[in-house]
Amino acid sequence: MPHNPTVDTTITRTALVVVAHPRPDSLTAHIAELAIRRLIAAGYRIDLLNLHAENFDPRMTAADLPEWGNREKVYSPEVESHMRRILDAEVIVAVFPVYWMHVPAILKGWIDRVWNYGFAYGRSKSRLGGKRMLWLGLAGVADDDALVGTMRDALSAQLDDGIAYYCGFTQSSVGLLPGAEEKRQRLDAAGNLLLDEALTGAAREAHYADLENRALSFVDDFLAADRVSA
Ligand SMILES: Cc1cc2nc3c(=O)[nH]c(=O)nc-3n(C[C@H](O)[C@H](O)[C@H](O)COP(=O)(O)O)c2cc1C
Specify if 7 maps to a domain. Answer: no
Specify if 55 maps to a domain. Answer: yes
What is the number of domains present in the chain?
1
Maximum Cα–Cα distance across the chain: 61
Q: How far is the CA of 124 from the centre of ligand 1 (A)?
A: 38
Specify if 196 maps to a domain. Answer: yes
Q: Which atom belonging to ligand 1 lies closest to the Cα atom of 98?
A: 17
Specify if 8 maps to a domain. Answer: no
Specify if 28 maps to a domain. Answer: yes
Ligand 1 site-directed mutation target among 34, 95, 99, 186, most atoms within 8 Å of CB = 99
Q: How far is the CA of 187 from the centre of ligand 1 (A)?
A: 15
Residue 224: Cβ-neighbour burial (10 angstroms; 0-12, 13-18, 19+): exposed
Write the residue with the smallest CA distance to atom 18 of ligand 1: 140
How many CA atoms lie less than 13 Å away from 224 in the CB half-sphere? 6
pLDDT tens, N- to C-terminus, the chain (230 residues): 444 445 555 668 999 999 999 999 999 999 999 999 999 999 999 999 999 999 999 999 999 999 999 999 999 999 999 999 999 999 999 999 999 999 999 999 999 999 999 999 999 999 999 999 999 999 999 999 999 999 999 999 999 999 999 999 999 999 999 999 988 888 889 999 888 899 999 999 999 999 999 999 999 999 998 766 55
Nearest to 114 by CA among 93, 154, 87, 133: 87
Which is it for the CA torsion 2, 8, 13, 15, positive or negative?
Answer: negative
Specify if 4 maps to a domain. Answer: no
Q: Which atom belonging to ligand 1 lies closest to the Cα atom of 137?
A: 21
Specify if 45 maps to a domain. Answer: yes
Helical spans, DSSP H, in 55-183: 77-87, 105-114, 147-155
Q: Which domain holds residue 150?
A: 14-224
**Site residues for ligand 1, CB cut-off 6 Å:** 21, 26-28, 97-101, 138-141, 180-181
How many CA atoms lie less than 13 Å away from 184 in the CB half-sphere? 12
pLDDT per position as a tens digit, 168-196: 999 999 999 999 998 888 888 999 988 88
Identify whether the C-beta of residue 55 lies closer than 8 Å to the C-beta of residue 20: no
Instruction: Output the domain CATH number for residue 141.
Output: 3.40.50.360
Specify if 2 maps to a domain. Answer: no
Element (H, E) at 140: none
